[in-house]
Amino acid sequence: MTTTTTTTALTFTLPDGTSTVTIRPTQKAAPSEEPSQDTAPSKKDSNHEVYLNDHLIATWVIDPSVKTRVSPAQVLDERAEFDSVRHLVLSSRRSNDNGVCNGNGVSNGNGVSDGNGVSNGNGVSNGNGVSNENGVSNGNGISNRDGIHSVEAHSKGELENTWISIYALWLLHHDLDVIPITPPSSATTTYLLATGLAAPSPFESATESSGRTLLLAREAFWQGAGTPDNLSWLRSRPEASIPGFNSHLGAFASQMSFTRRGNVCTTHPLRPQKPAPGTVVYSRYIVEVGQHLQLVHIDASNPVHFSAYARWQNSDRVNHGWRERGPDEKHAAYLESQRIDPHTMSLIFLWDGEPAGYSEVGWAKEDNTACFVSSNCGIHIGEFDQLSHILVGEEKFRGGKRYQAVATSIKHLCFLRDPRTTQVIAEPRFDLPSVPIQARLLPQERKKRVQLPHKQAVLFALQRERFFQEGHFY
């Protein structure tokens, strides 16, 4: 199996924007005789330590002689691939002793509101940082749905450190699809299996829960399986913003609604309310860029947001694609129309707190382009499918890697905010320089050129399953 890894330390910040994690090869005492290049352990076989805010929280220990099958059961035995099993050893220090903010109101370090005035915007906290699935505090620090699972309160920090260590492992081996591990305890095994973050290996016969080989799946991790509420990439879910209520639902309750506006006349599901302007809705550190990316619901009353947006729309480069050049009154009216429109949300994205560009995400069914793109394009627009638009405003933040990171994050936001979304579509102007970049750097299908009332566009469709298999999250 091909792996991509590194022999140097890899450092990133967690979605709270303040906690720093480092994963690096284990430092060993110098031997009496320096090993030769031939006998030194390979990068793939190195043990790695995980540090949270400079405190050691875990070690990934690997025995190259112990391997397990990682190919699925349908693969022929002679074609199957194997990989070394990594054992997670947690330190005794709890994660909330290391400086991770796990109360209400996670700090984001840049003065931008990270919530909507009611909660911390990342799910419902029952006071211990882990949702208990029923809105009633059970005091045990782990999911306790229908009384099936219950562990000691001290394991809350253990579970959080487990997730952080797995996050670091996936960034280290970001080209792998499956990683076999053994958890450090029965409590972590229960957590990994109950949340879907890991699955039992069908090729192992071990019955002891603390010694079982489990398979971590890339697509499950990036879908948010097992994520601590206070460390979610998705920072705001208004439908779960009332503490103690609704967090068990998982998605906004489905009920029918109707829109008649312009060239739109359709039934569709009622959409959840948008978070308040100025709310951080998504947060993730981009390793390849070395900066933290945030998506914020744009606040037109914030001079920083509005002046940046107006300046970008009035530039020649942006105006070529968006055609929104005009006085401040025009820009203010447009952003206000976006604010009151329940089907779309305007975002400003920031690199390390500095405004870099603008985006829109919306529900495709009731968008004014739906009747055009669903005809003769080989796609069906589902009830919960979404669409997105991207505008990179600042010249210094242009470039393939940054664009890939922003586009991936915006699509990630769409898929995370409703698990029923099966595809995200985009219809950029056909002659924009970003079109070949989108075709090359995102795992989406280029369908066809389509004529819209206001532009000739290229239709892209990104499928959920392919995104979580092939999306570039590094």
For the chain, domain boundaries: 1-29+44-232, 251-470
Which sign does the torsion angle of CA 402, 403, 404, 406 carry?
positive
Tokens coding 40 = 């030194």
pLDDT in tens, 356-393: 999 999 999 998 888 887 666 778 899 999 999 999 99
Q: CB-hemisphere CA count at 13 Å for 53?
A: 15
Q: What is the three-state SS of 350-413?
A: EECCEEEEEEEEEECCCCCCHHHHCCCCCCCCCCCCEEEEEEECCHHHCCHHHHHHHHHHHHHH
Strands 423-426 and 456-463: antiparallel
End-to-end CA distance of the chain: 19
The neighbour count for residue 324, using CB atoms within 10 Å, is: 17
Please give the model's pTM, rounded to 2 decimal places.
Answer: 0.84
Using 50, 70 and 90 to split pLDDT, how confident is the model at 260? confident
Sign of CA dihedral 402, 405, 408, 412: negative
CA dihedral 303, 305, 308, 312 (to 10 degrees): -140
User: In 3-state terms, what secondary structure has residue 310?
Assistant: helix
β-strands 445-451, 20-25: how paired? unpaired
Instruction: Please check the confidence at residue 36 and state whether its pLDDT lies above 60.
Output: no
DSSP per position, 258-270 = EEEETTEEEEEEP
Around Cβ 266, how many Cβ atoms within 10 Å? 15
pLDDT in tens, 95-127: 454 555 444 333 343 434 444 433 333 333 333
Signed CA dihedral, 417, 423, 429, 435: sign only: positive
pLDDT in tens, 282-338: 999 999 999 999 999 999 999 999 999 999 999 999 999 899 999 999 999 999 999
Distance of CA 149 to the CA centre of its chain: 26
- Token digits of residue 62: 């690997």
Kindly indicate the confidence band of residue 209, based on its pLDDT and cuts at 50, 70 and 90. Answer: low
Show Cβ contacts of residue 107 under 8 Å, excluding neighbours closer than 6 positions: 16, 17, 18, 101, 114
Q: pLDDT band at 135, cuts 50/70/90? A: very low
- Alpha carbons within 13 A on the beta-carbon side of 210: 6
Rounded CA-CA distance 180/196 in Å is 14
CA–CA dist 273, 408 (Å, integer): 24
304 alpha carbon, distance to own chain's centre: 26
List the catalytic residues.
Answer: 427
pLDDT value at position 100?
59
Asked if 215 and 192 touch (Cβ cutoff 8 Å), the reply is no
Residue with tokens 């480069």: 317
Strand 82-90 relative to strand 178-182, pairing? parallel
CB count in 10 Å sphere of residue 456: 12
CATH code for residues 251-470: 3.40.630.30
Residue 362 bridge partners (DSSP)? 344, 387
Contact 282, 167 (CB under 8 A): no
